[in-house]
Every structure is written in C-alpha cells, then in structure tokens.
C-alpha cells in the first residue's frame, strides 16, 4: 500500500502512534509547538511514553517531524491526535480539533483519508470536522474519506500500548472502513474492531472514561459517607473485593485529560439533545468535590484558621502515579484551596519536570523535602513516595493524609 | 465443636445455608411461613436453589425444619437469614429482622452466638438487633456473642454457591470473631475473610449491590441518551468492551431483593448522618425510570392513545433471567403502566410458578401464547424465549422490544 501518513498533534497520543506507523509507512509528524518538535528531533519525549532509542531509531528510518503543515502535503492519510480539552465552563473546547481540520483542508487532495483519534462526543466528526474539511472544495466519499478510531493510550502504562491493544475503527462509507481497517491492521498486533458508523466509534470511546469516572465517584462517595461513620473505606473495599464480581476501584483525586474531561463531552451532547444526564454529572460533581473534602479533613484535624502560620506539603503534582504530566491535576485544586485559605503550602513531585513545576508553582515548588510540616498530603501514589521516611519532615503532631492508601492502615495516616 | 445450628428464615438464602451446615452440625431451620416448612419437609424448594435430592438427603441425615421457634431452644448458634426489604416509601423495613431477634431473645442462653447474614446498613446490627437480643437479660460479650457475615447468594447461579464463595465474617469481640471464623471454615470451601468490626462487614455487603446498581444505571442512562441520537447502545457497548478495562454491563430492568433494594439502605443511613448520596440515588432514579422509558418507546411506535384497543404481551415476570422469583420485578411496574393506560396487557413467564403468576396477575396471566399482539416486550431473558417463533403471535406491524438484547440487531427488534 502506497500510503504516506501525516500525524497531526504529537502529544502522548500522537507521538507513539506516529512512531508505530513510521515502521511500516513513510510518516511525518506535525505539531504546532516548536519546542516539542525540537525535543523530538533530539529524540527526547517529555511525556515519557517513548525512550530516546525508540525515537532515534524511527528518525534513522525516515520518520520526520515538522511544525509546518506544508511539510505533510504529500501525505495521503492524515491522522488527527490533538487534545480535546474542556474550557473554564467545563464545555468541550474543540479549538485544536478545528484548527487541525483547517490545516488539513489546505493540503487535502483527491483520494485522501482523514482519521480522527481525538476523543469527542458522538456526532462531532460529522457535524464539525467534515464541514471544515469540505472547505477544500473536495466532497466527502467522492473525493476524500473520513474515519474515526478512538485513541486508547493510557499514560504511563507500558503494558497497554498503541500496538498491542484492540482498536475500534469506523469510516464514512464501506470503502473507507475497509481501507482504514487494513491500515491499522498493518501496525497493530491486536484485534481491529470495525463498527457500523463514526457515531458508534465516537460513542464507544466517550463512555469508557465516563464509566471509570462514575466508578471512582462511587467509591469517593462511599469514602465521604464512611468517614462520617468512622469506618475505614479501604478495609470495606478490600472485604467487598473478595466477592467474585466486585469491581476494584480506589477513592482518590480524578484529574488528567480523559477521565475528568470526557464525561463533560458526553454530558454536553446529551443536554444539547434534551437529556439531563443524572449519573454522569453526579459522578463529576462528587469527584470534583474531593480536594475540598481532603482540605476539610486536614482543617478539622489541625484545627487551623485562615491565614494561620501552618506549613502544608503536597506530595505529587501529577494527575496520575508515576506519570510526569502535571496538567489538569487535582493536586493543583487542592494546592489552590490551601493558598486561598492563606496557608503556607508547598508542593513536590518526584516524577514531573523541574522546569514545568517551577513555572506552575514558582516558589511553592520544592525539589528537596528538608523542612518540618504540620500536614503532609500524599496526593499521588508515585513509587518514590513509598520509601519516604516521614519522621524526617513531620512531628508527632503532624497530620499525614495518604489519599491513595499507598501505606497500610497500621501507619495511622488519614486516608479516604 | 459441639455446635447446634439454628437458622432463622429459610428463603433462597437460609435454606442452602442450613443444608450446608447440616452436613457438619446438627441443624434446625425455622421459618414463619407454614407452607414453606411443609414444602421443605416434602423436599421441595420453590426457589429452585436446591434439588429434591439435596433436601431429602439432608433430612435423612438429621436436618429438621419447624415453624416453632421453641424447636430451636437447644441450638447454641443462631444464624439469621430473613429478608430485609424496603417499604412503600423506599425506606428500610426491618420488621422481620426485629422479629427474628425477638424470637431468638426468648431462647437465648449463656454462651450462645447470633450471626446475622441479612443485608442491612452499617450500624443496624449494633443499633437495632443487639438491644433486642439483650431483652433476654443476657449481656453482649459477657453472656452471648454476635457476628455479621453477609450473605452472597446469587439467585439462580449454580456456579457461585454458599459453599464455594469467599465469606466475610465479623464478630462483637475477638473471641466471637475467632469462633465464627472457625464455624464458617467448617462448611465453606473458599476463603474466610475476617474484618475488624461488624460495621465493616455490613458496609462491605451493602456496597456490593450498590456498585452493580450504579453500573447498570450508567448503561441505562447511555441507552436513553443514545436512543435520542439513533445510536445502537449494544453496538457501542460491544465496541467499548474491546478495551481491556471496560466493564461489561447491559442495560435493562433492575428488580429483585438486592440490587434494587440495598442502595436504599445505604442512602437511608447516609442521609441520617447528614450526607446526601448523589451517586447512589441518581443510580436508583435512573433504574426506576426504565419501565416508563420502555412504555414511552412502545407508545411512540404504536402511536396509541389511552384506553385504545391494543394488545400488549410482556414476556417474563421474574426479576431475573432463568429465575422463578416474581417478587420485586420491574416487569410488574411495566405491566402496571400499561394497565394504568388502560391497554390490554397480558403477561407470561416461562419459569415462574403458575399459581404465583395467577394470584398476582389473575386473568392477565397467560400460560400459552396463542393470540396476536400489537406489542411484545421481552422483559426478561429466560432461555426459553430465545427459541420463540415470534411470527406466530405478531404481525408485520407489531412492535417487539428486546429489553435485554437477547436477539441480534439484525432481527430489527427495538432494544435498549
């Protein structure tokens, strides 16, 4: 197959995908961020998804990256992997998706394929992306073809990678579906699951993270109820987990670019068509309430007042354990609540990039833990935190909150 | 161990438990329902959990049943397995649990154990049952001991039985926990999981079904959203299920004595201690709305008016597939909505007891399907319904609603 692949958006989804495609096809990656392009050229991946070797091997074998869309003008398959975040009102922000579609429309040719991997609500590809692509004056299914194949990258997960997990694919017509299925079969060593429409593929993706969100919200709600009853939620969950069909979820902070975002996409679309999604939104509400719940517990234990001279340390700024990504992290919400209450709050992360930490938290970012704190919140379960000697930076009166229950109950730490 | 077991309540939980204990200990079962006692004496189990042979073998080996509590006066371990339903206001109805405790208090002796298996909200055993037992003038942990070990019977499930599933146990003190653990170890060929308090054991049980409820509510909510978008929910769920961590739940009617009931127990207790449980109650609300949703779809398709001469058939009156139990079934709610709208609604069940069907549905119960219907709703996925020839009792204009998606999409039936 004489396919030349252009990948639009080289984040934690796009770069691994582009590298995989580059092993079988001529592949060019595009990103609007100049520094990301420079880093990739130096075989450095700030998201930690790929090793230096994997990137440099790909480059040696012809993989190219560029911040100029014209560089991709000879490609005939465009795969869009740009972020689809929410705005400050928790509404879908499709700016980057629209921009990517605009850029592609400038270089789209007869016979080309455009495959979207970015998570959207059902209907978005047909209602928003395709009209933009048609600004090229080319016609869908006559001149060019569209597909949707949801990304399933799990940041930091080395077991479930682009190449070895099952892939849902869809197309704008049967021919598109056939070609897109074949294309992914070339690069993926797992099952390709074709579905009957782009809507179905979009829906299949958006519900995956909504399901995780609601399940974590359920155990977060339990932890709020049981805390009032002086029942240890982790012990309850461990006991319930001895039942064959109990689902093991842990309470905690839900951040990131997927679980805390996708449900809003689905809720947006549902509301638009006249359905108020009770379950989905109650899940979001509960998960959003967790930083305040943790703050309230610490406040109750330390019995502090606003502006009082208390030293707080948050361990973990990333949105997920063993992951360097500090964007969309609920640790930041927790930090903001402490700052709003004018407490002396510092934040540490064992994995995140020092420069990124500095630019987000300025003087409140600490690289080394060398002071004594009144409260320490282990907000993220990075492996590095398990071996910490808490006696070095706490006193007998300090409060330690082990949000993710990474330590045994016998330690006597507060937990959800 | 010289234990003599008395089992209070011989329903689908108590009878299998009593029979299992009778293999190792002298065991007497008690139930207030005279006809249930007569049936068991004739080795007949209307709940289908046990075969004639299993019961008659137990009786031959000394298993006794009685509707007189005094028959159990020589027992020294009492296990309570009475129903804990909800009343018409969806509030916990602990009448039978209180009555069982009263009965035991009349025959309780020094050194005796009382173990509750009935599902309750956390705190109920200590707040409600123990005070009643102490009417005997015996003192907890001085004279008698209490435990809580939640039942995990899954009606109709022959793979997960009392004897082969892990069991959570708790006790009123360490001695009680030790003895109760040993007792269950004698009859259960799986792990015994002791927990630190009765509260924890109660909590572990009540969340199991609440979790299932919320997960089914989530897919029910999806089916309501996707129906408006003309997306087939089953196809979406099948696609999402190709992701390694997607949880496979099907939309449907949630009835029965556990999933549709336990969340109200937890919500009741949460509200009592000042916490409004968003997730749990939104799950209940969505699941309770499903009969009306199905009715609305049928109405939309048939375009009927109240009191119009339309013939409706509901297939399945039980609360669960391949289970004869018609109590707490949402099929009945669906039937009631059709009747309220004065349509000619009949109901059939391939598994339930004919007499029970007759007494609940009177003339609307049909044993044989030998008429033509305008709408047929396959509400319960009994195996018997898969081989039905729908052409025999529907016309080309009839609407068939396959609530549990037991038929392939290609059949063209409506589904959730």
What is d(CA B115, CA B147) in angstroms, rounded to the nearest whole number? Answer: 4
By mean pLDDT, which of A46-50, A123-127, B271-275, B290-294 is the weakest?
A: A46-50
Average per-residue pLDDT in chain A?
A: 95
* DSSP per-residue codes, B246-271: ----------TTTTTTHHHHHHHHHH
Which residue among the candidates B75, B258, B323, B345 is catalytic per the annotation?
A: B258
Residue B87, pLDDT above cutoff 70:
yes
Residue A282: which of B246, B275, B282 has the nearest Cβ?
B282
Contacts of A380 (CB under 8 A, 6+ apart): A253, A315, A316, A317, A318, A319, A320, A321, A329, A331, A349, A403, A404
Mean local confidence (pLDDT), A213-239? 96
Chain A and chain B share a number of CB contacts under 8 A equal to 171
Element (H, E) at B279: helix B278-288
A414 and A404 together in one domain: yes
Residue range A106-157, pLDDT digits in tens: 999 999 999 999 999 999 999 999 999 999 999 999 999 999 999 999 888 8
How far is A218 from chain B, CA to nearest CA, in Å? 6
Residue range A151-189, pLDDT digits in tens: 999 888 889 999 999 999 999 999 999 999 999 999 999
Provide the domain count of chain A: 3
Residue range B297-344, pLDDT digits in tens: 999 999 877 777 899 999 999 999 998 999 999 999 999 999 999 999
Residue B92, pLDDT above cutoff 80:
yes
In the listed set A196, A216, A248, which residue is the last one of a domain according to the structure? A196
The dihedrals phi and psi of B27, each to the nearest 5 degrees, come to: -135, 135
B232 and B142 together in one domain: no
How much is the pLDDT for A199?
98
3-state secondary structure (DSSP) of residue A210? helix
Residue A226: which of B201, B203, B279 has the nearest Cβ?
B203
Contacts of A134 (CB under 8 A, 6+ apart): A105, A140
Contact of A226 with B271, CB cutoff 8 Å: no
Question: How far from chain centre, in Å, is Cα B51?
Answer: 20
By mean pLDDT, which of A412-416, B15-19, B138-142 is the weakest?
A: A412-416
> Are B244 and A193 a contacting pair at CB < 8 A?
no
What is d(CA B416, CA B223) in angstroms, rounded to the nearest whole number? Answer: 5
The CATH number of the domain holding residue B321 is 3.40.50.720
Domain that holds residue B143: 4-196
Distances (CA, A) of A360 to A285, A320, A329, A355, B191: 25, 17, 12, 9, 49
Residue A196: which of B225, B235, B286 has the nearest Cβ?
B235
A213 and A263 together in one domain: yes
> Are A193 and B242 a contacting pair at CB < 8 A?
yes
Which residues in chain B touch residue A224, judged by CB atoms under 8 angstroms apart?
275
Residues paired with B394 in a beta bridge? B373
Predicted confidence band of residue B158 (pLDDT cuts 50, 70, 90)? confident
Q: Give the residue from B399, B216, B237, B187 showing the smallest Cα distance to B314.
A: B399
Which residues in chain A touch residue B123, judged by CB atoms under 8 angstroms apart?
229
DSSP 8-state code for residue B11: S
Residue B26 maps to a domain? yes
Residue range A316-344, pLDDT digits in tens: 999 999 989 999 999 999 999 999 999 99
The CATH number of the domain holding residue A253 is 1.10.1040.10
How far is B225 from chain A, CA to nearest CA, in Å? 6
Mean local confidence (pLDDT), A23-45? 97
How much is the pLDDT for B114?
98
Which residues in chain A touch residue B201, judged by CB atoms under 8 angstroms apart?
239
Mean local confidence (pLDDT), A46-58? 94
Give all strands of the β-sheet with B394-402 in edge-to-edge order: B344-348, B311-315, B373-378, B394-402, B414-415
The contacts found for B383-387 with CB under 8 angstroms, 24 or more apart, are B383/B321, B383/B322, B383/B350, B384/B350, B384/B351, B385/B315, B385/B316, B385/B350
A361 exposure class (CB count in 10 Å sphere: 0-12, 13-18, 19+): buried
Mean local confidence (pLDDT), B15-34? 98
Contacts of B128 (CB under 8 A, 6+ apart): B94, B97, B98, B101, B120
Mean local confidence (pLDDT), A356-360? 96
Mean local confidence (pLDDT), B270-280? 95
Residue B1, pLDDT above cutoff 60:
no
A209 and A125 together in one domain: no
Mean local confidence (pLDDT), B240-247? 96
Q: Kindly give the residue spans of alpha helices, DSSP state H, lying in B307-389.
A: 330-340, 354-361
Residue B120 maps to a domain? yes
Residue B47, pLDDT above cutoff 70:
yes
- Considering chain B, what percentage of its residues have pLDDT values greater than 90? 93
Q: Give the residue from B204, B150, B164, B195 showing the smallest Cα distance to B177.
A: B195
Predicted confidence band of residue B195 (pLDDT cuts 50, 70, 90)? very high
Contact of B13 with B81, CB cutoff 8 Å: yes
Q: Where are the beta strands (DSSP E) in B141-268?
A: 145-148, 167-171, 192-194
Give, rounded to a whole angstrom, the gap between the first and last alpha carbons of chain B: 54
Mean local confidence (pLDDT), A89-98? 97
For testing contact with chain B, the best of A151, A279, A284 (most B CBs within 10 A)? A279
Residues paired with B4 in a beta bridge? B26
Would residue B258 show up in a list of annotated catalytic residues for this protein?
Answer: yes
In the listed set A255, A288, A321, which residue is the last one of a domain according to the structure? A288
What is d(CA B20, CA B14) in angstroms, rounded to the nearest whole number? Answer: 10
> Are A275 and B225 a contacting pair at CB < 8 A?
yes
Residue range B202-232, pLDDT digits in tens: 999 999 999 999 999 999 999 999 999 999 9
What is d(CA A295, CA A223) in angstroms, rounded to the nearest whole number? Answer: 14
Which residues in chain A touch residue B282, judged by CB atoms under 8 angstroms apart?
278-279, 282
By mean pLDDT, which of A39-43, A224-228, A316-320, A323-327 is the weakest?
A: A323-327
Q: What is the pTM of this model?
A: 0.94
Q: Give the residue from A67, A33, A93 showing the smallest Cα distance to A265.
A: A93
| Chain B residue with Cα closest to A277 | B221
Residue range B248-257, pLDDT digits in tens: 999 999 998 8
A155 and A208 together in one domain: no
A408 and A264 together in one domain: no
Average per-residue pLDDT in chain B?
A: 95
Residue B201 maps to a domain? no
A115 and A35 together in one domain: yes
A124 and A70 together in one domain: yes
- Considering chain B, what percentage of its residues have pLDDT values greater than 70? 100
How far is A4 from chain B, CA to nearest CA, in Å? 28
* Residue bearing tokens 């007869």: A110
B124 and B256 together in one domain: no
The dihedrals phi and psi of B242, each to the nearest 5 degrees, come to: -75, -10
């Amino acid at each position: 197959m004489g396919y030349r692949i252009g990948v639009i958006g080289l984040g934690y989804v796009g770069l691994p995908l582009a590298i995989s495609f580059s092993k079988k096809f001529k592949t060019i990656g595009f990103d609007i961020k100049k520094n990301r392009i420079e880093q990739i050229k130096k075989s450095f991946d700030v998201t930690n998804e790929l090793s230096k070797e994997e990137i440099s091997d790909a480059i040696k074998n012809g993989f190219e990256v560029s911040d100029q869309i014209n560089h991709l003008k000879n490609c005939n398959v465009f795969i869009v992997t740009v972020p689809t975040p929410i705005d400050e009102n928790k509404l879908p922000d499709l700016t980057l998706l629209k921009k990517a579609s605009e850029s592609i429309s400038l270089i789209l040719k007869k016979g080309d394929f455009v495959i979207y991997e970015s998570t959207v609500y059902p209907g978005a590809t047909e209602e928003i992306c395709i009209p933009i692509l048609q600004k090229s004056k080319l016609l869908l299914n006559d001149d060019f073809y569209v597909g949707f194949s949801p990304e399933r990258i799990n940041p930091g997960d080395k077991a479930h990678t682009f190449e070895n997990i099952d892939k849902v694919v869809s197309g704008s017509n049967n021919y598109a579906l056939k070609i897109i299925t074949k294309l992914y079969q070339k690069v993926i060593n797992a099952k390709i699951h074709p579905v009957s429409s782009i809507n179905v593929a979009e829906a299949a993706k958006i519900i995956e993270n909504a399901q995780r969100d609601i399940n974590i919200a359920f155990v977060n709600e339990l932890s709020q109820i049981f805390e009032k009853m002086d029942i240890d939620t982790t012990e309850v969950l461990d006991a319930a987990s001895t039942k064959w069909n109990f689902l093991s979820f842990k309470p905690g902070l839900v951040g990131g670019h997927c679980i805390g975002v996708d449900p809003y996409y689905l809720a947006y679309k549902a509301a638009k068509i006249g359905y108020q999604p009770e379950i989905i939104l109650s899940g979001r509400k509960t998960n959003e309430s967790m930083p305040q719940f943790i703050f309230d517990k610490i406040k109750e234990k330390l019995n502090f007042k606003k502006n009082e001279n208390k030293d707080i340390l948050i361990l973990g700024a990333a949105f997920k354990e063993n992951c360097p990504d500090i964007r969309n992290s609920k640790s930041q919400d927790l930090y903001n609540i402490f700052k709003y209450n004018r407490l002396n709050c510092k934040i540490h992360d064992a994995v995140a990039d020092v420069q990124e930490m500095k630019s987000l938290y300025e003087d409140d970012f600490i690289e080394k833990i060398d002071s004594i704190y009144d409260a320490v919140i282990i907000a993220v379960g990075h492996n590095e935190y398990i071996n910490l000697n808490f006696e070095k930076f706490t006193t007998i009166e300090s409060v330690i909150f082990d949000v993710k229950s990474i330590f045994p109950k016998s330690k006597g730490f507060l937990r959800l």
